[in-house]
Amino acid sequence: MTTGSPLLTDLIEALRCLPGVGAKTAQRMAFHVLERDRAGARRLSERLALAIEKVGNCGRCRGFSEQEICSLCANASRDKHLLCIVETPVDQLAIETATGYRGHYFVLLGRLSPMDGLGPKELGLDLLAARLGEGEITEMIVATNPTVEGEATAHMLSQLAKAADVKASRLAHGVPLGGELEFIDRGTLAHAFGGRQSL
């Protein structure tokens, strides 16, 4: 895309690194900040630069943190016997804000995907195994996504838990509350039917 301004072209291309932002959206964003909100754009660039410099990963759970140990891991009032395994910090935030869960987390920063170069080492499974081996955790809650890779990851996690003699549980998947069976996709319905529970 040629704009007549190399800097503007570079800005548009840089904005395309964001998920879901294509050429047209990046163009709209670039023109908006230059036409209407230069102060907001300056604040955004400062905050972005600061976050990139200061935000790293917690040494215990691998979630985002500015400290070596994040505030969730450092919170003594949380249940040290429960460990919820999630794929991403976004999943961690979703569970933290939508549920009453008060245990600890371990963030994989991905899921098993050999084609993408993501194996046990990249997911920090050695760190997880060491944490399970400490003896404090009695239940590991596997909250990976219900995808092929997520299910493969869940299976590997269950083997780690078994080796450490830790109970492993999996988030329930199936028909959403308020959902109607005729509108549920076949895979979800089959999974829900196969995982039915006693009443």
Asked whether residue 13 is assigned to any structural domain, the reply reads no
Domain with 136 in it: what CATH number? Answer: 3.40.1360.10
User: Percentage of the chain surpassing pLDDT 70?
Assistant: 96
Quick one: pLDDT at residue 197?
Answer: 65
Model confidence over 86-102: pLDDT tens digits? 999 999 999 998 888 99
The whole-number average pLDDT for the span 28-48 is 95
CA-CA distance, 80 to 73, in Å (whole number)? 9
Asked whether residue 82 is assigned to any structural domain, the reply reads yes
Domain of residue 145, residue span? 78-199
| Global confidence as pTM | 0.84
**How many domains in the chain?**
1
CA-CA distance, 91 to 187, in Å (whole number)? 22
Asked whether residue 190 is assigned to any structural domain, the reply reads yes
Quick one: pLDDT at residue 171?
Answer: 85
Q: Which residue has the higher pLDDT, 78 or 183?
A: 78
CA-CA distance, 150 to 15, in Å (whole number)? 29
Asked whether residue 146 is assigned to any structural domain, the reply reads yes
* Phi, psi (deg, nearest 5) at residue 118: -105, 105
Asked whether residue 23 is assigned to any structural domain, the reply reads no
